Chain A
Amino acid sequence: MVETEPPGFGSTQDRPPGATSDEGAAQMLQLTDIRRDYRIGPVTTEILRGVDLAVGAGDLMSIMGPSGSGKTTLMNIIGLLDRPTSGRYVLDGRDVSKLADDDLAMLRNAHIGFVFQSFQLLPRLTAVENVSLPLVYRGTNRAEMRRRALAALERVGMGERTGHRPDQLSGGQKQRVAIARALVGEPAVVLADEPTGALDGATAREVMALLASLNAEHKVTILIITHDPGVARQCARQVRIHEGTLVERTAGAPGASGAAAARHPASGTEETEEDPGASSAPPAIDPNPAREPTSRRDDTGEILNPAAPT
């Protein structure tokens, strides 16, 4: 499934010159002119006004914006919890913008790993049971489910506390369990919504470091939605959302494409949330500043994939 070449997209997508077709095709998700309106009575409120976004396999990307900017709505759409009013959303080679509810549930299960600000663990279940949950809805047998859940907990450094319930865990530990749950199904993309929002500074740094290392070492594609510039800066790619539109501002991503950035050791292993990791890196092929404020749907590939314009 993951290897499938996105039909209809491979051709329109400009690729970095040196990339093999395999890498170039690995565009995990591609949003084109996504709009989302809410209609309350006669009043229509536009939350998303034409969002274009491409996330490559192995990207570590942040979407930053103040509350009310539409980032939650965007995340719900990317996470297949909500459907756009119009626009095209291709996830792992499949157009998912018009699917039925059940299909979306199956796709969420297979392709999306959620990490929430408030952890959203089921209080009655132990860590390992919480982590197993996505596999339940996939029909994995119990032994395999347990094996994979334990492996996922091991990966996030929670191998010692698998039998604990959420109320026996600290905030940071809960978020690690939640990350393990997001990873257990080997999703195409991990969507983290304010993953450090409920954590204190030190713990927040640990969690960010974990996400970064997962991205660097295991090539997990991670999309972090945040309002915290410190968090955003640790991501190789950064976009801002403002009044329903996206603005790419990858200041210091070392690689051109997300995939390249992820492979670069420096971007994945940054230890501080401060400048050095991000801004001291050599400026990449920068997004055209002239276009920045109006970065809209016109030339999808070019703007959203920084590698393209060269």
Chain B
Amino acid sequence: MKARLSLLLGSLGAALVAFALAAPRVVAADKVDPAADAKAFQNFFFQKFPNVKHEDFVNGPYSMNEDMKRQWQEKEEFPPYEFALDAGKEMFATPFKNGKTYADCFPNGGIGIRQNYPYFDTKEGKVVTLELALNRCREANGEAPYSYVKDEMASLTAYMAFTSRGKPMDIKIPDDPRALAAFENGKRYFYTRRGQMNFSCASCHVQSPGERIRAEILAPALGILNAMPIYRSEWSGMGTTSRRFVTCNSQTRAVPLEPQSDEYRDVEYFLSYVANGLPISGPGARP
């Protein structure tokens, strides 16, 4: 009897110890901690690809092996995004009908600031992306907004990215529960499976970077937005971040959301924040 009682007490004690050890982990897992998420995210890729230099992840599929890297270096000699870059530079400098320019809408005249986008606007309580800020600038100056998925927007963001090349991504998350919620929402969107193919963003860009999907080599999620906008051979043209999200959704047979919807803005916030410290490499080129 005594032995049974001590066995029972021992089991109860062990269960209590196990619960005490497990409980803080459960709580921690539910707490939004962007810094811890970014560290885990980066470590995952650094460990998965120990031979890739950290700053090379921003070159997407071209960072995945030496052959691909050589292709990238050759491509950079006559970059296919160059025409967009020239067009964007000219558009950026051309005054609106009211005489003002894009430079009047942005800090530092819009030069070398790409690494700070998207940011969380505490007045609006939402994430503001560079594409959104550019269209808001246009509308505030009496101009019609550009399509988020077409060439004009890609050209403008290409030029702005180019002025930030090499600068480390530097996304801030203010001490505001709405900013943390936006980050968490973006994270949820990134990992959520959707479409008839039952794919999440992570299915391709976390589970399978470096692997082929049909003829393409999948890019790692780490630093994937640092190269935006991109020239894609598949598109025979430039593509914005919005276009990238829309296309990814379509490929999984999910109806894409509207460009610059809250979900897209939030997932851009999440992906950019976890790439903090990695250099801006846009505009980029992809197969």
- Indicate, yes or no, whether A interacts with B: no
Q: Interface on B for A, CB 8 Å cutoff?
A: none
Residues of chain A at the chain B interface (Cβ within 8 Å): none
